[in-house]
Amino acid sequence: MNFAGVDIGSTMTKVVLTDTTDKVLSAIKGPTGPEHRQLANEVMKSALEQAGLQLDDISYIVATGYGRVNVPFADEQITELSCHARGVYSIFPNVRTAIDIGGQDAKCMKIDKGKLIDFVMNDKCAAGTGRFLEVTAATLGIPLQDIGDISLKSTKKIQISNICTIFAQQEVVALLSRGEKVEDIIAGLHYALASRVATLARRLKIEPDVVLTGGVAKNSGIVKAMKESLGCDLLVPEEPLLTGALGAAILARENYVRAREKGEALPIKSRRLDKATFYNNGS
Amino acid sequence: MANQKSKTYEGLSSAQDIYLNRSRRARELKAAGKKIIGYPCAYVPLEMFTALDLVPYRIYGSIREPVTEADRALPTSFCPFIRSCLDLALKGKDDFLDGLVTAHSCDPQHRTAHIWESCVQYSYTHFIDMPGTIRADSLEYFKGQLGDFKKTLESFTGKKMSLAKLKAAIKSHNQQRALVKELYQLTKPIPPLISGTEILQVIKAVMSLPVFEGNELLSQVISEVKNRKDGPAQKPARLLIWSSTLDDTDVMQIFESHANVVMDESCGGFRPFRAEVKLTGDPIDGLADYYLKEITCARTFRQATIGETRKDYAKDLQSRFGYLKSMVKDWKINGAILFLVRYCDPFAFEMPSLKNYLDSIGIPSTYIEYDYSVGALAQLKTRVEAFMETIG
Domain end: A230, A250, A277, which one? A230
The answer, for B383 touching chain A at a CB cutoff of 8 Å, is: yes
Residue pLDDT, tens place only, A239-275: 999 999 999 999 999 999 999 999 988 888 878 777 6
Kindly write down the DSSP assignment for every residue of A142-166, as one continuous string: --GGGHHHHHTT--S-------SHH
Residue A155: CA atoms inside 13 Å, Cβ hemisphere, count?
A: 1
Write phi, then psi, for A160 (nearest 5 degrees). Answer: -95, 115
Q: Which residues in chain B touch residue A164, judged by CB atoms under 8 angstroms apart?
A: none
Q: Which residues in chain A touch residue B386, judged by CB atoms under 8 angstroms apart?
A: 79, 81-82, 116, 119
Q: How many residues does chain B have?
A: 392
* Section A54-75 average pLDDT: 91
- Res B3 pLDDT > 90: no
Classify residue A272: in a domain, yes or no.
Answer: no
The domain spanning residue B238 has which CATH number? 3.40.50.11900
The answer, for B4 touching chain A at a CB cutoff of 8 Å, is: no
Residue pLDDT, tens place only, A93-145: 999 999 999 888 899 999 999 999 999 988 767 777 888 888 888 888 899 88
* Section B340-363 average pLDDT: 93
Note whether A68 and A77 are within 8 A (CB): yes
- My answer on whether B153 and B30 are in the same domain is yes
**How far apart are the CA of A244 and the nearest CA of chain B, in angstroms?**
13
- pLDDT at position A283 is 36
Q: How far is CA B147 from CA B45, B153, B276, in A?
A: 12, 10, 20
- My answer on whether B271 and B370 are in the same domain is yes
Q: Which residue has the higher pLDDT, B5 or B363?
A: B363
- My answer on whether B368 and B315 are in the same domain is yes
Residue pLDDT, tens place only, B284-302: 999 999 999 999 899 998 8
- My answer on whether A136 and A198 are in the same domain is yes
Domain of residue B372: give its range: 167-391
The reply to whether residue B390 touches residue A78, judged by beta carbons under 8 angstroms, is no
**How far apart are the CA of B58 and the nearest CA of chain A, in angstroms?**
30
- My answer on whether A79 and A111 are in the same domain is no
* Section B273-286 average pLDDT: 96
Classify residue A170: in a domain, yes or no.
Answer: yes
- Dihedral over Cα of B37, B41, B334, A85: its sign: positive
- Can you give the C-alpha Rg of chain B in angstroms? 20
* Section B304-331 average pLDDT: 86
Q: Which residue has the higher pLDDT, B307 or B235?
A: B235
Q: Which helix (H) or strand (E) holds A224?
A: helix A220-230
- My answer on whether B7 and B30 are in the same domain is yes
The reply to whether residue A82 touches residue B389, judged by beta carbons under 8 angstroms, is yes
Residue pLDDT, tens place only, A195-209: 989 988 998 889 999
- Nearby residues of B390 by Cβ (< 8 Å), 6 or more positions away: A82, A115, A116, A117, A118, A119, B364, B366
- Res B141 pLDDT > 50: yes
Q: Which residue has the higher pLDDT, B382 or B179?
A: B179
Note whether A281 and B381 are within 8 A (CB): yes
- My answer on whether A115 and A201 are in the same domain is yes
**How far apart are the CA of A118 and the nearest CA of chain B, in angstroms?**
7
- My answer on whether B59 and B101 are in the same domain is yes
- My answer on whether B318 and B371 are in the same domain is yes
For an interface test with B, which of A8, A109, A121 has the most B Cβ atoms less than 10 Å from its Cβ?
A121
- pLDDT at position A33 is 72
**How far apart are the CA of A81 and the nearest CA of chain B, in angstroms?**
6
Q: Which residue, among A37, A214, A120, has the nearest Cα to B367 in the 3D structure?
A: A120
Q: Which residue, among B308, B276, B278, has the nearest Cα to B295 in the 3D structure?
A: B276
- Nearby residues of A228 by Cβ (< 8 Å), 6 or more positions away: A191, A194
- pLDDT at position A280 is 44
Q: Is the peptide bond before B129 cis (omega within 30 degrees of 0)?
A: no
- pLDDT at position A136 is 86
Classify residue A235: in a domain, yes or no.
Answer: no
- pLDDT at position A124 is 62
The domain spanning residue A41 has which CATH number? 3.30.420.40
- My answer on whether A80 and A100 are in the same domain is no
Alpha-carbon distance A278 to B384, whole Å?
Answer: 22
Domain end: B119, B145, B162, which one? B162
Residue pLDDT, tens place only, B83-104: 999 999 999 999 999 999 999 9
When pLDDT is cut at 50, 70 and 90, the band that residue A168 belongs to is confident
**How far apart are the CA of B197 and the nearest CA of chain A, in angstroms?**
15
When pLDDT is cut at 50, 70 and 90, the band that residue B221 belongs to is very high
- Res A13 pLDDT > 70: yes
- Res B6 pLDDT > 50: no
Q: Which residue has the higher pLDDT, A276 or B243?
A: B243
- My answer on whether B128 and B253 are in the same domain is no
Domain of residue A43: give its range: 2-85+242-262
Note whether B50 and B153 are within 8 A (CB): no
The reply to whether residue B376 touches residue A78, judged by beta carbons under 8 angstroms, is no
The reply to whether residue A116 touches residue B390, judged by beta carbons under 8 angstroms, is yes
Task: Please identify among residues 283-342 of chain B the ones whose CB lies closer than 8 Å to any CB of chain A.
Answer: 342
- Res A162 pLDDT > 80: no
Which residue pairs, CB below 8 angstroms and at least 24 apart, start in B232-237? B232/B191, B232/B192, B232/B193, B232/B194, B232/B195, B232/B256, B232/B260, B233/B191, B234/B190, B234/B191, B234/B260, B235/B191, B235/B259, B235/B260, B236/B388, B236/B392, B237/B334, B237/B335, B237/B388, B237/B391, B237/B392
- Res A78 pLDDT > 50: yes
- In chain A, how many domains are there? 2
- My answer on whether B205 and B344 are in the same domain is yes
Alpha-carbon distance A31 to B66, whole Å?
Answer: 31
Alpha-carbon distance B236 to B75, whole Å?
Answer: 42
Bridge partners of residue A14, in order along the sequence: A7, A29
* Section A183-201 average pLDDT: 91
Alpha-carbon distance B297 to B327, whole Å?
Answer: 16
Task: Please identify among residues 180-199 of chain B the ones whose CB lies closer than 8 Å to any CB of chain A.
Answer: none
Nearest CA in chain A to B342: A123
Alpha-carbon distance B57 to B111, whole Å?
Answer: 21
- My answer on whether A115 and A60 are in the same domain is no
- My answer on whether B225 and B157 are in the same domain is no
The reply to whether residue B382 touches residue A283, judged by beta carbons under 8 angstroms, is no
Q: How far is CA B205 from CA A282, B18, B22, B24, B209, in A?
A: 28, 5, 7, 11, 7
- My answer on whether B106 and B125 are in the same domain is yes
The reply to whether residue B390 touches residue A123, judged by beta carbons under 8 angstroms, is no
- pLDDT at position A35 is 64
ipTM: 0.80
Burial class (CB in 10 A: 0-12, 13-18, 19+), A179: exposed
Alpha-carbon distance B59 to A221, whole Å?
Answer: 51
- Res B220 pLDDT > 80: yes
- In chain B, how many domains are there? 2
pTM of the model: 0.87
